[in-house]
Amino acid sequence: MKRLRIGVIGLGRLGYHHAMNVTKSQRAILSAVSDPFPEALKRAVDNFDVPGYADYKEMIVRDDVDAIVVATPTKTHYDVLMDCIETKKPIFVEKPITFTVEESEAIMKAVEEKNIFLQVGFMRRFDPGHVAAKEAIVSGKCGKPIYIHDCQRDPNGPPPAYVPESGGLFVDMGIHDLDVARWLMGREITEIYAQGAVLKHEFLKELNDVDDGQMLLKFQDGGLGMIEISRNANDVYDTRTEVIGLEKSVFVGQNQLTPYTLIGNQEITVDMANWCLGRFKDAYELEMQAFVDCVLDGKPSMVTAYDGMMGIKLALAATESYKTNKPVKITY
């Protein structure tokens, strides 16, 4: 059986997790890893027993690296991706694809011109609950989807040093929800009106960021939506999605039989994860398996460079709307 030999660039929290998921696939082999930080590199080399490189450029040209996972800080994505594209090897890249629409469009153009397989890491598209919702919508059971409500709540605030590297709340967190919205509704967003505030973590004011936000959406061919994002869920990671159709509705991540739950300080046990890697454990594994399967089976990417470009375009529009306190129309 042919197995896809994968090299991973970037061995932080998500990069290491992606490397681990590669090793879980029966159709893939983790063949090499790369990270400029010695401690991160040594940890992966020791635990996975693979060659390690401080310079990713040495790793991506190896003959035993068939495909590449890019999980470096987003500010490095453009240069790293352009180098990887030159190898003509399939690429998996963590979201956001880049921090600007212009760079994302350039990546998209390069991928198309060189016919490179690229998958963007919007893992919720592989979460079993979200997949079931999408199947129900596509099958016509729900009728035309007319409204979506999505929320994502992190358990606590981010480390202060991370905030300037994150792109801000609407990019760092909201990009996932915006992708889910356009994916489940099956059409593009035409207008965003966003609001944000610092409600708990005062240090964010000095960093020009917020810990809570909300986005009102309008869609092509009708349809409305609302997205909530928060860094104040008090020790749990809470994400939910509701899509209202003309005939039926679908709900993901909700226990409708529990009328009231008090959450905070681990005083009670609730059926909720304490971080995204727990809540979306299956999704992260399934998205990597989808990458492997699509490459080996010659199938198109399930999350394209265009999806990555649209994610950052919408997230930046939300950021602009928050800062100007005005709705922002999305042009196509």
Residue 103 is classified by DSSP as H
What pLDDT score was predicted for residue 233?
84
Asked if the peptide bond before residue 96 counts as cis, ω within 30 degrees of 0, the response is: yes
Average pLDDT, the chain: 93
Residue 1's SS3 state is: coil
Q: Are 71 and 37 in contact (CB under 8 A)?
A: no
CA distance 59 to 206: 39
CB neighbours of residue 205 within 10 Å? 12
Query: Minimal CA–CA distance to 154: which of 12, 289, 277, 312?
Result: 277
pLDDT tens, position by position, 161-186: 999 999 999 999 999 999 999 999 99
* CA distances to 105, 125, 172 from 275, in Å: 32, 18, 15
pLDDT tier for residue 313 given thresholds of 50, 70 and 90 = very high
pLDDT tens, position by position, 66-77: 999 999 999 999
CA geometry: angle 139, 143, 149, nearest 5 deg: 100
Task: Give the CA dihedral 111, 115, 121, 126, nearest 10 degrees.
Answer: 150
73: amino acid identity, one letter: P
237: amino acid identity, one letter: Y
What pLDDT score was predicted for residue 207?
95
CA geometry: angle 131, 259, 214, nearest 5 deg: 60
**Position 263 pLDDT exceeds 50:** no
Give the residue-averaged pLDDT of 260-267.
45
pLDDT tens, position by position, 18-68: 999 999 999 999 999 999 999 999 999 999 999 999 999 999 999 999 999
Q: Are 244 and 147 in contact (CB under 8 A)?
A: yes
In this structure, the chain runs to a length of 332
CA distance 260 to 262: 7
In sequence order, which residues have a C-beta less than 8 Å from that of residue 325 and are 6 or more positions away?
A: 195
Give the tokens for residue 93: 């890249």
What pLDDT score was predicted for residue 254?
67
CA distance 82 to 205: 35
Q: Are 229 and 212 in contact (CB under 8 A)?
A: yes
Per-residue burial over 140-150, b = 16 or more CB atoms within 10 Å of its CB, e = otherwise: eebeebbbbbb
Regarding pTM above 0.95, the answer is no
Ordered structural domains, the chain, with CATH: 4-124+284-303 (3.40.50.720), 127-274+312-329 (3.30.360.10)
Least confident of 118-132, 154-168, 185-199, 209-223: 154-168
pLDDT tens, position by position, 231-251: 998 877 888 999 999 999 999
